[in-house]
Each structure stands twice: as C-alpha cells, then as structure tokens.
Chains A and B, each alone.
Chain A
C-alpha cells in the first residue's frame, strides 16, 4: 500500500469520499511537481556543467556561486519571453501540446518507489503502467508538430514518433527479462527481488534498456528530432515562453523518470547500506543521469536510416534473444543463483560481438571491432577530459592570446611612417580603403583615411602592399556594432586605437610575440 492510499484511508475517516479521493491527488501533484522541479533544476545544472567538463570547457558559472543559479535565471528568462502562436497553426492544440507532453512524465512518478514504504501508490501492474503512460508522450509531440503549422516541426514530429515507437519494442522486451526473474509487475516487488542487482543478472537486458531509453529520451546520439542543421529545433521550433519551458521541463522530467526506472529495475532501487533509502535512490538516479550525458557529450548523432536500422536489426533481435535466454534460464535454474552472473556476462559479450557482425545498417556492415572499440575509446577520452583543466577562459577577465599571425579586425596604422603612397588602396581587391593626401613639407600628408570594415575580407593584401611598414593587421577580435556606419573607421580612430599589431607579414615581429593560449595551454607547453 502506497503513501497515497494511506493518506486516503486516513482522510476517509473525516471527509466525504470524493474529497478523500481528490485531496490526496492534489497534494501529491503539488508535492511531486515541486520535488521534480528541484531535481530537474539540479539536472540541468549538472548536465550543463558536466558536459562542459567533458568537453574541456567551463560551462555556466556566472549566475550565483559556481553558476548554481543558472537554471533559475534560465527559467525566469524563458518565462518572461513573448508567447508566440503561429498564425497558420492550430491555437488550441498548440496550447494543449506541452501539457500532454509533460503529464505522462509526471505520472510515471506515481509508481517509483523511493523507499520500502515511500511510494505514492504500489499498483500491481507498476511497470506496465509506466510503459503505457510513457507512450502517451508521443501524442504531445504529434500535437506540437501539427499545431505549429511548420514543415520542419511536422517532419520532426513524424521522425520522433517513428523513433519512439521503434525503440519502445526493445525497451519492453528488455524489461520482460527483468519481469521473468522478479516474477512481478509491481515496482516494489521488483526492487525487493534484487538481492543481486539485475544489472549483473541481465547485463544484456540492461544495455538494451539503457540504449533504448536514451532513444526514448531523444538524447544524443538519438536526438534526431532536434537535428538543428536539418529541421531547425524540431517539433518545438514554434514554441517560446512558458510553453517552451514546459517542453523543456517535460524532457528533463522524463530523463529523471527514466533514470529512476533504470535505478529501480537494474540497480536495486532504494537498496543500499548505511544511507537512507531515498538518498540511495537519488544517488543512483544521478549516476545514471551522468552516464546519459556522458554519452551525449561523446557520441555523434545517428542518421535517420541508421537509427531505424539499429532499432530493428540490432536491438530488437538482441532483446528477443535475451528474453529467450532468460526464459530458458528461468526453467533450468529457477532460483537464479549467482553463478549465472558469469554465464550471462559471457552470453551478453558473445551475443553483442556476434550480432554486431551479422547485420547491416544503411548498407554498411556493423562491426563491433570498429564501432564498439570506437565508442569505448571515445567514452574513455571524454572521461579523461573530466579531469583536465578546461581550456576555455573566463572571457572578459581573461583573454586569449591569439596566434602570432592572427588577422584581427581593425588595422593598426602608424601615422608617422605612412608616406601616403596609396599602395594599400590600390592593392585592396574590394576597394574599401579611401585615402586622400596633400603635399606637406617632407612629402605627402594623409588628410583622410577611411576603411569600411563591413566589407573587409581580411585578405591582408594592403599590409603586404605597404612599402614602409605603416599598416599592420591587428590582434583584436572584439569589435561589433549594431550599425553599419560605425564600421567605417576614420583616421582619428586609427590614431586613437590601441596599437596591438599582428605578426602577419612581419616575420621579425613574430619572435617577440607571446605564445597562443587557445588550444595549447602554457602548462602542457612547458
């Protein structure tokens, strides 16, 4: 009996039955929402910082200490944004879609056990309930894609739905192995059945479940629905403001839910020594989530045909085989002794290696030796990056030293040396250098010098053309403007500008330059 039912029972003594049903539901919803909101914010923060570290950069670190308020800032920003509804879209469905997408993810938590007695409702078909409910999210995606009245959104929705349906099958089949061992659909009994965590008894099932769940979450390498280069931002291209934030929230809630399911099904849920059960579960959830974005920061995105081929030719038969093997084991060794761990590990390794050699994806034979090793090496590399110093810098405070021959914007002009020969203007292929001279005492004096950097190619021909070394490329890279006029730089500005010449075309300068700091940090050089 879950927390919810206990609450109901307690209330039934005092209130009419309809209230006794309704009130716990509302309370549960509120408690759950706020808890999920908290966890999701933590997730977002951990993911952004973590992905930063995996990719040897800093990640958000400005809002609050260590950037810990970044999710809050994001939330506020997104909430105050204008809510745009496309005119060709379907207003009501557009409005409804994010809610439909969010609700199933929330509803999953009704059956996640946070402790031996800490579960909202222990229904006897818990895992079936989860599968059924999570298949509802598809409808929300569909609605969003349809209601946006946008081709890219629609294509994204279709892609997403195809992907979700395809990966749902190996997902369910891999769960079936767990169900055979535990002999129950109830989440609580599944946790209780795990004297050995099922990840050890079902290594292959775990792998399949994890991969399929990653695809269900639309996370890299399966994030086809937001393949920016192809279909803009996917089905939520036309969403902004509150509704977008709801989609965002749904995505992370779903990630949380899936992590919790993985932890419950395969990592023995809330079980663990010393610490309280709920804490154990959250530790496992975060571990699973870290692995999720570890993979995200390592692996490249799959193509559509590869995605489908992988699901149907790779995961689906493997999941079937896993189911058969587990069923056979259930008949031969009904007690599932610990010796099976070794056997199952061997079977899993063998099946993966053999099966990967058997099928083709997108006309190419999948070889474990090629892809498996590649994936392992990539994961190891990103894992090592986790412990490296980030090579990005705190930009306004710290600056990069560019390469000695870096061609920065704004030329450096040395008025004293210039003899007004106009060689630079003649050399410019786009004729943006406007120079006028008059006769002075010792030769020509430059009267006006105007260069339109809005059209500059940074070809450096003017610098090379200068016979008296009066013109240099600069090392600056920070100029930007909202107005074209301000990109036309005048003589006075050149004189006033800070003189940071680049060594481009001036090899004698190069020796004195400091070494570059972007990809070769001084530490490793020395």
Chain B
C-alpha cells in the first residue's frame, strides 16, 4: 500500500490529538510542556508533508520557524516552571491558580 499525503496528515492529527489530550489532562507542568512539544512536532510533520507533496519548500521553512519558536517556548516555559517551583514548591497546575481573581 502506497503511502500518500493523507497518511502523514492523519499521523500528524493523531499525534496532535495525543498531545492535546496530554496538555489538557496532565497536572505536572513539565509534562504539559512535553505534550505541547508533541503538538508542535505534529504540526511540523504536516508542514513537511505538504512541502513534500506540494513541491514547495515553504512548508519546510515554516517547520524551521516552528522549531525556533518551540525552542524559545520551551526555554521560557521551563524557566517559568522552575521559578514557580522555587517559590511554591509545586509544579501542579491545579495548585498554581494564585492569579485567579
């Protein structure tokens, strides 16, 4: 069975949904960040697949930018998590709701 664009897109969707579930359901902030990275990777797969099956390199260029943004995001995100951990001794997002009202 030949592999086509749809396969990659559905793979991307599956990966994205898993990441989405994790990001919404897990309580550990680090794990949430990990799941967000999975989502970004899923998007990258879709981008590169479009690039491959559209013969247009723009998709790969986008993937590069997504990687850059992911790196920046994870750096700031983890810095925040560590800063919060230092002051509150927890990374449980259900207990980090100080700013609610």
Does a CB–CB distance below 8 Å link A and B in the complex?
Answer: no
Q: Please list the residues of chain B having a beta carbon within 8 angstroms of any beta carbon in chain A.
A: none
